[in-house]
Chains A and B, each alone.
Chain A
């Protein structure tokens, strides 16, 4: 009864504080970051001196309440180990809510209610990676050592790897769903157990989202900039979800940056490893991070517009026009536009670009390239002369030889058929000759990659 009264009082205080803020509510999110420098198995979940301890059986039991899974194995992979993980589906950073309504990954773990304020625990430096075969032409590879490790951001994370085996007879959509949700469950469960056991944050970062009326009026004299955040939404294995909703079903909309940090956007995209945005990358979107860093200094970061990359031409037309309309409604001077994937999404990038430019809004495009093995072919499938400010994350067709690794987590036998591999990729000695497209995050179009770029 005492606890109920305390909760009721807290709720009243929270509502009163919101109502006292004239002109709308500022959403404030604190990320309480615990730095993880090692991961081990043990009898209980905990973090001590940077070491994350995982109770393996408790994690497996938590995941196995999904009858669509036949079995789950849990392995650990640490930076510098001779380990290859494949096929990697998703990467998720362990996070959970400490304070504030709802839970992370709304619509999957959390309720469908809005997130993005309060306090969130982040186990920074840890990642949950999911593996397991869904279909043959499916990503991706993470090497924890060697030349491949230089191209993936997940060679420096302390990885808890789930090897997921779908149950016999489960249809492909359900197999994909069960594997995707298992990753989200594992990441949130690990963070929740650490929260329950107690932790000390190494750093607290605070992010605010002002009501739009205040945001637009702030920092007079600085250019107003919005971020058009393109999300892959082509169909099975090529999808993204916001608040549990399939993004191919939405029209473009505004979302607060802090909602993204609480897992409002989750990835269901696992075909092209190099340039798909894993859930981890959405949580740590470097474009959002960079815009916050520049906010109030040389630009006024006013908001985020999410949009889709559908197959249907009518949807491409509708979404590009609507996303630009939102930018015009905000009255921004410029937009940063990030693509996800390649091929027909290049058309969405181009549509967003020229429609914004024709509306008097300057654009900067973030993409990657498929310029052939020698880099001499046209990089994108579509072009526009308006796209004259473009940042590239690299050429996904660049070739590499990955040396053999001592340990394989997952299944290496399908490497020849993964995007970026080809017949004969996997050599008898265990080495792999392939394109960097096969490496998870190697040309991430949000810039969450180990590659750099310089201005020409």
Chain B
């Protein structure tokens, strides 16, 4: 049986028609809220497929964040590694020392570039999970 996945994101690129068949849950505004929603799902047994932190971007440098989670298997026991990663990531966001940048605070060029990079960095994970080719 194919495993079901859910994308959690604040990146509006995932509203484009090509994503209509994917399970995408939008969180408005802040990237931190994506992590918090991810944490809630992890507590319900969902399993992280990508690391919740970017490489090379601090929370105040990237307004977007996207997570891919796999549906709970069986009883929905909490995946300890997912929980550890999301908790550490939230701590990084909370203690980064600068206000988190929001999409609407960016210039259009910065917002579009960050949205593109967010999608590009998710590509391999989405491909491995069979969501994109």
Chain A positions within 8 Å of B, measured between CB atoms, are 135-137, 172, 232, 234-238, 248, 269, 271-272, 276, 309-316, 341-347, 370, 372-373, 377-378, 381-382, 397, 417, 419, 422
CB proximity of A247 to chain B, nearest CB, Å: 12
Q: Collect the chain A residues with CB atoms within 8 Å of residue B50's CB.
A: 311-313
Among listed B6-14, B23-31, B35-43, B91-99, interface-contacting one: B91-99
Q: Collect the chain A residues with CB atoms within 8 Å of residue B57's CB.
A: 137, 271-272, 343, 419
A341 engages B97 (CB within 8 Å)? no
B97 engages A236 (CB within 8 Å)? no
Q: Collect the chain A residues with CB atoms within 8 Å of residue B52's CB.
A: 344
B53 engages A381 (CB within 8 Å)? yes
Q: Collect the chain A residues with CB atoms within 8 Å of residue B91's CB.
A: 378
A235 engages B54 (CB within 8 Å)? no
Q: Collect the chain A residues with CB atoms within 8 Å of residue B96's CB.
A: 372
Which B residue sits closest to A248, measured CB to CB? B124
In the bound complex, how far is the Cα of B88 from the Cα of A83, in angstroms?
Answer: 41
Q: Collect the chain B residues with CB atoms within 8 Å of residue A377's CB.
A: 95, 97
Q: Which of B84-133 contact A (CB under 8 A)?
A: 85, 88-89, 91-92, 95-98, 107, 109-110, 113-114, 116-117, 120-125, 128
CB proximity of A379 to chain B, nearest CB, Å: 11
A137 engages B125 (CB within 8 Å)? no
Q: Which of B48, B54, B98 has the most CB of A within 10 A?
A: B54
CB proximity of B39 to chain A, nearest CB, Å: 16
Q: Does B61 sit at the interface, judged by CB under 8 A? A: yes
* A-B residue pairs in contact (CB < 8 Å), sample of 17: A136-B110, A137-B61, A235-B121, A237-B117, A311-B50, A311-B55, A313-B51, A341-B55, A343-B53, A343-B57, A346-B53, A370-B58, A378-B91, A381-B53, A381-B88, A417-B107, A419-B57
Which residue of the partner chain, among B89, B97, B98, contacts A381 with CB atoms under 8 Å?
A: B89
A341 engages B48 (CB within 8 Å)? no
A interface secondary structure, majority: loop
Which B residue sits closest to A344, measured CB to CB? B51
In the bound complex, how far is the Cα of B114 from the Cα of A419, in angstroms?
Answer: 12
Which residue of the partner chain, among B56, B98, B109, B116, contacts A234 with CB atoms under 8 Å?
A: B56
Q: Collect the chain B residues with CB atoms within 8 Å of residue A269's CB.
A: 56
Q: Collect the chain B residues with CB atoms within 8 Å of residue A342's CB.
A: 55-56
In the bound complex, how far is the Cα of B56 from the Cα of A309, in angstroms?
Answer: 12
Q: Which of B61-85 contact A (CB under 8 A)?
A: 61-62, 81, 85
In the bound complex, how far is the Cα of B85 from the Cα of A342, in angstroms?
Answer: 15
Q: Does B49 sit at the interface, judged by CB under 8 A? A: yes
CB proximity of A274 to chain B, nearest CB, Å: 10
Q: Does B19 sit at the interface, judged by CB under 8 A? A: no
Which B residue sits closest to A138, measured CB to CB? B113
In the bound complex, how far is the Cα of B55 from the Cα of A341, in angstroms?
Answer: 7
In the bound complex, how far is the Cα of B85 from the Cα of A31, in angstroms?
Answer: 45
Q: Which of A232, A238, A276 has the most CB of B within 10 A?
A: A238
B110 engages A137 (CB within 8 Å)? yes
A238 engages B121 (CB within 8 Å)? yes
B116 engages A343 (CB within 8 Å)? no
Q: Collect the chain A residues with CB atoms within 8 Å of residue B123's CB.
A: 235-236
Question: With A341-B55, A345-B55 known to touch, is A236 a contact of B120 (CB < 8 Å)?
Answer: yes
A272 engages B56 (CB within 8 Å)? yes
B121 engages A313 (CB within 8 Å)? no
In the bound complex, how far is the Cα of B62 from the Cα of A234, in angstroms?
Answer: 15
Question: With A136-B110, A238-B56 known to touch, is A313 a contact of B117 (CB < 8 Å)?
Answer: no
Q: Which of A237, A276, A311, A372 has the most CB of B within 10 A?
A: A311
CB proximity of A75 to chain B, nearest CB, Å: 25
Q: Collect the chain B residues with CB atoms within 8 Å of residue A422's CB.
A: 60, 98
CB proximity of B74 to chain A, nearest CB, Å: 19
Q: Collect the chain A residues with CB atoms within 8 Å of residue B56's CB.
A: 232, 234, 238, 269, 271-272, 276, 341-343, 419
A311 engages B125 (CB within 8 Å)? yes
Which B residue sits closest to A421, measured CB to CB? B61
Q: Which of A237, A315, A346, A381 has the most CB of B within 10 A?
A: A381
A373 engages B97 (CB within 8 Å)? yes
B88 engages A135 (CB within 8 Å)? no
In the bound complex, how far is the Cα of B109 from the Cα of A235, in angstroms?
Answer: 20
In the bound complex, how far is the Cα of B58 from the Cα of A377, in angstroms?
Answer: 14
Which residue of the partner chain, among B55, B62, B95, B107, contacts A372 with CB atoms under 8 Å?
A: B95
B117 engages A236 (CB within 8 Å)? yes
Which A residue sits closest to B121, measured CB to CB? A235
A347 engages B109 (CB within 8 Å)? no
In the bound complex, how far is the Cα of B70 from the Cα of A312, in angstroms?
Answer: 12
Q: Collect the chain A residues with CB atoms within 8 Å of residue B58's CB.
A: 343, 370, 419
Q: Collect the chain A residues with CB atoms within 8 Å of residue B51's CB.
A: 311, 313, 316, 344, 347
A314 engages B116 (CB within 8 Å)? no
Q: Which of A315, A343, A377 has the most CB of B within 10 A?
A: A343
CB proximity of B99 to chain A, nearest CB, Å: 10
Which residue of the partner chain, among A310, A346, A419, contacts B124 with CB atoms under 8 Å?
A: A310
